[in-house]
Amino acid sequence: MDVNTQSLMPAPPAASGARAGESWGSFLWFLVKLLALVLVFRTFVFSPFSIPSESMLPRLMNGDYLLAAKWPYGISRHSLPFDLALPDGRLLPGVPERGDIAIFKHPIDSRDYIKRVIGLPGDRVAVVNGEVVLNGIRAARAPAPDVLVPLSPNTGCAWGGEAEPAAEGAGEVCRYKAFRETLPNGRSYTVLDFGPWQADAFSERVVPPGTLFVMGDNRDSSMDSRFPASAGEGVGFVSQDLLVGRAAVIVWSTDGSADWLNPVSWFSAARWDLIGNRL
């Protein structure tokens, strides 16, 4: 019986070059989708920030790394790559609540700043003897236990603190006098106040439309809305169009003592008690 031997032969394998081309194309498409997902996440969900100063002690310390929620205040050009302009300033704008810890762009030098929201548009805000007066009502303030901040390369002892040996283990801590401040809406938090300072008096002013009055929790070491906007210093009343996000959670914190050549120090330098704290 005649057999067509050609029909029984296996088909020749596909060219290796074609397979390689398909593999590279799939990989590049995967990278495009991954970058798009990261962009969407950073634009609409969360974005990372680091704390470079001690103006928000004791809640936030130099060396803290946190995530800021982007959706509560709306999406502005500061949420987009390269600060691309939006026609209406913000998409789906939201007004912060008194007591929020907000991240925003400095109105002059565009650096990231982080402060606590005290006054909203239309509020009458004053500071008398270092105490907040909001719409004619003095914010409740009660003495709180002293705050002990471990001294490290990232955290020194400011002019209002006193260095002393740590109660447990080696090293030193800085002792600060603290108060518990409660806004009329019930939001409560700890502030540091070292005594008389130039910004302890701020005559009553009305917060203009579309702006916020913000302050640092470390009241005597914070350049905030009590000072006129100036590069690297005060911020004045902060436009809501400069909002970037609301501080949400500390994802990492380091005291600055890590040596990159010594992986063990990466763990010993971590402030494990702060990591995961919600803000």
41-268 adopts what CATH topology? Umud Fragment, subunit A (2.10.109)
Q: What is the mean pLDDT of the chain?
A: 85
**What is the DSSP code (8-state) at residue 194?**
-
Q: Which residues of the chain have pLDDT under 50?
A: 1-8
SS (H, E, C) 98-142: CCCEEEEECCCCCCEEEEEEEECCCCEEEEECCEEEECCEECEEE
Q: What percent of the chain has pLDDT over 90?
A: 54
Buried b (16+ CB within 10 A) or exposed e, 99-127: bbbbbbbbbeeeebbbbbbbbbeebebbb
* Backbone dihedral region for residue 260 (phi beyond 0: left; psi -120 to 50: alpha; all else: beta): alpha
- pLDDT at residue 74, as a whole number: 80
Other C-beta atoms lying within 10 Å of the C-beta of residue 138: 13
For the entire predicted model, the pTM comes to 0.81
Local structure of residue 18 (DSSP, 8 states):
H
Q: What is the pLDDT of residue 260?
A: 81
- Exposure of 220 by Cβ count < 10 A (0-12 exposed, 13-18 middle, 19+ buried)? buried
- Please list the active-site residues: 55, 115
Q: How many helices (H) and strands (E) are present in the chain, helices listed first?
A: 3, 17
Rounded CA-CA distance 105/44 in Å is: 17
